[in-house]
């Protein structure tokens, strides 16, 4: 009897080793939010021009980015919004904490189109969403406005797919999450450092997003990089401790610039190559 099936079973049963980035020193993470103001971030609300932070939707309160609707009046007006960081990224880990009160919904977009390319009346950016939920629901689910993803080689047909996280019933508790993004290769969602969802080969496609520039939605185009956007979906939410660790760098183990968590080569970042 061949031992191969048994060996494969044993290998599949082995726990996934913790990612090397979990051991990265705090000083090597880039702080994206300074805790004081929205410097470095760009607002885009549906039905408003880029940069118009209508009714102070995004504001800073007690060291956190807060999404508030207390100055809207009675009409939300489908002003779905996002607060984008100014620079795009490709290979990285994004870490942050969020807090939602009640059974509400928010998220963070990755591999998003540039905020400057989002039309005035476009509802959702073409992107992939790591979805935040509260009120006895799983969190760090994935949703795909104008995009497609694959799991185990098969395209996912559903717009949103639940993660394997526990259900969050605490009202107003801070939740620590991480998104590991490897360009067009793979994306993993974590809650408190524990893997809860994994998918691969994100690309443009599918529906849900409307009002976009059709020249930008070329279905089948790989999503290898893009912008990060915090979501405002008509409900109050807060974000804090927003940090990013670059996974692109020098892969020469003998170089002073090498880091054990780098997974994508860029020889220009090696100290030897810089000479």
**Digit-coded pLDDT (tens) for 203-212:** 999 999 999 9
Please indicate, yes or no, if residue 258 is contained in any of the structural domains: no
Higher pLDDT, 31 or 136: 31
Instruction: Please tell me whether the overall predicted TM-score, pTM, comes out greater than 0.85 for this model.
Output: yes
Range name among 76-80, 129-133, 201-205, 225-229 with the lowest pLDDT average: 76-80
Identify the domain containing residue 135 by its residue range.
Answer: 33-247
Q: Rounded distance, CA 145 to CA 233, Å?
A: 14
Tokens 């939605």 sit at which residue? 217
Return the pLDDT at 17. Answer: 64
Q: Is residue 136 part of a domain?
A: yes
Q: Which pLDDT score, from 0 to 100, does residue 124 have?
A: 95
Q: Is 123 exposed, middle or buried (0-12, 13-18, 19+ CB in 10 A)?
A: middle
Q: Residue 6: inside a domain, yes or no?
A: no
Structure tokens at 87: 């620079």
By percentage, how much of the chain surpasses pLDDT 90? 81
Compute the residue count for the chain: 275
Q: Kindly report, residue by residue over 151-173, the tens digit of the pLDDT.
A: 999 999 999 999 999 887 666 78
The C-alpha R_g of the chain, in whole angstroms, comes to: 20
In a domain, 261, yes or no: no
pLDDT tens per residue across span 92-126: 999 999 998 776 789 999 999 999 999 999 999 99
- Which H or E element spans position 7? helix 4-13
Instruction: Find the helix or strand (DSSP H, E) in which 201 lies.
Output: strand 194-204
Tell me how far CA of residue 106 lies from CA of 26, 133, 142, in angstroms. 26, 7, 11
Higher-confidence residue: 162 or 134? 162
Structural domain includes residue 13: no
Q: What pLDDT score does 6 carry?
A: 47
Give the pLDDT confidence score for residue 7 in this predicted structure: 47
Burial class (CB in 10 A: 0-12, 13-18, 19+), 257: middle
Examine residue 76 and state whether it is found in any structural domain, yes or no. Answer: yes
In a domain, 224, yes or no: yes
CATH code, domain carrying 37: 2.60.120.560
Measured CA to CA, the distance from residue 228 to residue 152 in angstroms comes to 25
Q: How far apart, in whole angstroms, are the C-alpha atoms of residue 217 and residue 35?
A: 35
How many CB atoms lie under 10 A from the CB of residue 45?
24
Number of domains in the chain: 1
* Residue appearing with tokens 């870490």: 95
Please name which of 131, 126, 113, 122 lies closest in space to residue 227, comparing C-alpha atoms: 113
Structural domain contains residue 256? no
């Amino acid at each position: 009897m061949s031992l191969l099936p048994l060996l494969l079973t044993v290998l599949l049963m082995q726990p996934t080793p913790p990612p090397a980035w979990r051991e990265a020193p705090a000083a090597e993470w880039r702080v994206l939010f300074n805790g004081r103001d929205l410097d470095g971030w760009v607002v885009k609300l549906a039905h408003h021009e880029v940069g118009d932070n209508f009714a102070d939707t995004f504001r800073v309160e007690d060291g956190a980015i807060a999404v508030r609707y207390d100055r809207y009046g009675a009409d939300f007006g489908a002003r779905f919004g996002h607060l984008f960081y100014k620079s795009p990224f490709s290979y990285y880990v994004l870490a942050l904490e969020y807090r939602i009160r009640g059974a509400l919904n928010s998220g963070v977009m990755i591999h998003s189109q540039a905020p400057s390319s989002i039309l005035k009346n476009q509802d959702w950016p073409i992107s992939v969403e790591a979805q935040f939920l509260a009120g006895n629901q799983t969190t760090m689910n994935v949703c795909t406005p104008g995009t497609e993803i694959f799991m185990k080689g098969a395209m996912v047909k559903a717009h949103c797919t639940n993660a394997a996280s526990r259900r969050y019933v605490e009202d107003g508790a801070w939740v620590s999450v991480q998104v590991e993004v490897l360009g067009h290769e793979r994306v993993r969602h974590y809650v408190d450092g524990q893997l809860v969802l994994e998918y691969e080969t994100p690309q443009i496609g599918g529906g849900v997003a409307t009002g976009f520039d059709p020249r930008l939605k070329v279905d089948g185009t790989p999503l290898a990089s893009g912008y990060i956007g915090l979501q405002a979906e008509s409900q109050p939410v807060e974000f804090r401790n927003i940090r990013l660790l670059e996974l692109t760098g020098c892969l020469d183990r003998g170089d002073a610039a090498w880091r054990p968590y780098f997974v994508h080569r860029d020889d220009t970042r090696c100290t030897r190559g810089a000479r």
